[in-house]
Amino acid sequence: FLNPGGSSKDRIGIAMIEAAEGLGLLKPGGTIIEPTSGNTGIGLAQAAVVKGYKVIFTMNAKVCQEKRNILKAYGAEVVVCPCGVAPDDPRSYYKVAERLVEETPNAFSPNQYANLNNPLAHYRTTGPEIWRDTAGRITHFIAGMGTGGTITGTAKYLKEQNPNLRVIGIDAEGSLYRHFYDGTKGKAQGYKIEGIGQDFLPGTIDLGLVDEVITVSDKEAYGMAREAARKEAWMVGSSAGAVIAGALKAAKGLDEGAVVVLLLPDSGKNYLSTAFNDEWMEENELA
């Protein structure tokens, strides 16, 4: 039962906290402060509750209300910041978190975008699980790229077992990962998909482990999340919808013997007010 908060980020939440405790960076009664799109915050909040830490999370305004409510249910303080600002803008949820750390006594930020315990958690758990559950037959691993910890840690383990295994990263249209991967210049644009894509290059991703990047639009991701629920009974979020849409593109070039594993990070129950809300979909021209 490694995902009690309902997403793959539970693994990195406890891993980053326990590593910080071991190094003396997080002290009893301390406050954990972190920028998040929701799921890492939930993983951190759960661990913080049982360990006695306070938690403050910053997030941009596109994060769905369900995630905000879950964080508050765990006793977290949630600070909502504007969308569409550069990462180094004082109003960005990254910079607001940095300011709060400076202003708050006995505060610690795990910094999931640079903390190598993020990919390490998946190297130790997710990779071995997939290898074991497929009896080593996996030929392709497909996952979204947000902080990059999931795809990096999992891919590193799997490629150590089979260097010929192919790793496909799914990026949001408007994100800069495609440009980072191709070595081209680009400008970040806004997008609705939560949890994948980035407007800077985190220290937690190793693009050298990625064999191909597939870009997915908001409309494809949200449409696929709804289709997955109605046709396959997979209740998943927008980033998982993006992974499925990207996997279908990748599948066109695969032979019948391929064993493809998709990582679908969280439940669609977090997105009832967005992806599964007809009015919201129409308002955002995604229907």
Would you list the domain boundaries of the chain?
A: 10-108, 119-283
Residue 27 CB: number of other CB atoms within 10 A? 11
Q: What is the pTM of this model?
A: 0.94
Distance CA 127, CA 3 (A): 15
Cα dihedral across residues 238, 175, 213, 253: positive or negative: positive
Average pLDDT, the chain: 96
- Kind and range of the H or E element at 39? helix 39-51
Q: Which strands sit side by side in the sheet containing 140-144, from one edge to the other?
A: 212-216, 166-172, 140-144, 260-262
Per-residue pLDDT at 1: 52
Per-residue pLDDT at 3: 86
Beta-bridge partner residues of 31: 54, 107
Residues contacting residue 197 through CB under 8 Å, at least 6 positions apart: 145, 146, 171, 172, 174, 175, 176, 177, 191
Distance CA 72, CA 69 (A): 5
Distance CA 287, CA 279 (A): 9
Tens of each residue's pLDDT in the chain, 287 residues = 568 999 999 999 999 999 999 999 999 999 999 999 899 999 999 999 999 999 999 999 999 999 999 999 999 999 999 998 999 999 999 999 999 999 999 999 999 999 999 999 999 999 999 999 999 999 999 999 999 999 999 999 999 999 999 999 999 999 999 999 999 999 999 999 999 999 999 999 999 999 999 999 999 999 999 999 999 999 999 999 999 999 999 999 899 999 999 999 999 999 999 999 999 999 999 99
Tens-place pLDDT, residues 49-77: 999 999 999 999 999 999 999 999 999 99
* Domain 10-108 shares a fold with domain 119-283: yes
Assigned CATH topology for domain 10-108: Rossmann fold (3.40.50)
225, 194, 175, 237: which is closest to 63 by C-alpha?
A: 194
CB 112 within 8 A of CB 118: yes
Per-residue pLDDT at 80: 97
What distances in angstroms separate CA 78 from CA 2, 100, 101, 171, one per listed residue? Answer: 25, 12, 14, 27
Per-residue pLDDT at 252: 93
Question: Under CATH, to which class is 119-283 assigned?
Answer: alpha beta
Length of the chain equals 287
9 catalytic? Reply is: yes
Q: CA neighbours within 13 Å on the CB side: how many for 249?
A: 20
